[in-house]
Amino acid sequence: MARRGTLLVAMIGLAISVAACGRASQAEIEQALGITPTATASAAEIAGATEAAVRATMAAETAVAAAVASGGGRQVALGDVTRGSRQFLTQCSGCHRVGGAGPDLLSPGSAGAAVNTETLMPLLREGIGHPVPPGPYPAPLLSDGAIADLAAYIASEAGG
Ligand code: HEC
């Protein structure tokens, strides 16, 4: 009984103090409860942040596309080295081996180091800078993908 009496006194005291102070503001209530109010982002702020995120993603994609286009260090990811090695063995190594009719393309630091998909495409497809025969290679004989694979393989061997 004594405890219930104490509680009653406390509640009455609280009621009096609330009445005395009037209505507590939202800030006062939050302060009393230990809640730090968080700033609510406006719709415009959310839209702005979303647009910035989309722009950042697009910029990153553009950077990757540029790296792919330049071929700088990306040809291994573009072409498949294993497929390229098989292609090279059947189509190129007859001439492009040490002591062959064509320059060695596979030794580290050889002419192969400068090879990437962009340089290899006109060379093989149109025969620009390549002896005829064997070039030019038409698409049914050597697809764009196969040329990318060859570039990946040659560059990985020669250290391009
Ligand atoms: C019949 C022989 C022969 C075959 C087959 C051949 N090439 Fe060549 N290739 C040559 C010769 C010869 C040259 C040198 C041309 C020159 O310097 O004028 C050359 C040059 C090149 C070059 C330029 C090298 C440099 O010095 O910059 C590349 C790259 C190349 N060949 C890639 C290939 C690839 C890839 C294949 C296979 C799809 C291939 N070649 C098949 C004979 C051949």
Query: Could you list the pLDDT tens digit for every one of the 160 residues in the chain?
Result: 556 666 666 555 554 555 555 677 777 767 777 776 556 777 777 677 767 766 665 555 555 555 555 555 444 457 999 999 999 999 999 999 888 999 999 999 999 999 999 999 999 999 999 998 898 999 999 999 999 999 999 999 999 6
148: Cβ below 6 Å to ligand 1?
Answer: no
Taking CA atoms, 132 is separated from 83, 104, 126, 135, in Å, by 24, 18, 10, 5
Q: Is 131 within the bounds of a domain?
A: yes
Domain of 137, in residue numbers: 75-158
Q: Is 69 within the bounds of a domain?
A: no
> Residue 105 is part of a domain; what is its CATH number?
1.10.760.10
Ligand 1 center to 51 CA (angstroms): 49
Q: Is 66 within the bounds of a domain?
A: no
Q: Which two tokens mark 158?
A: 């020669």
Ligand 1 atom with minimal separation from the 133 CA: 1
Instruction: Please count the structural domains in the chain.
Output: 1
93: Cβ below 6 Å to ligand 1?
Answer: no
Q: Determine the Cα–Cα distance for residues 157 and 107; give it in Å rounded to an integer.
A: 7
Ligand 1 atom with minimal separation from the 142 CA: 38
pLDDT tens-digit series, residues 81-127: 999 999 999 999 999 988 899 999 999 999 999 999 999 999 999 99
For ligand 1, atom 12: residue with the closest CA? 102
CA-only gyration radius of the chain, Å? 36
For ligand 1, atom 5: residue with the closest CA? 92
Q: Residues 6 or more apart from 14 whose CB is under 8 A from it?
A: none
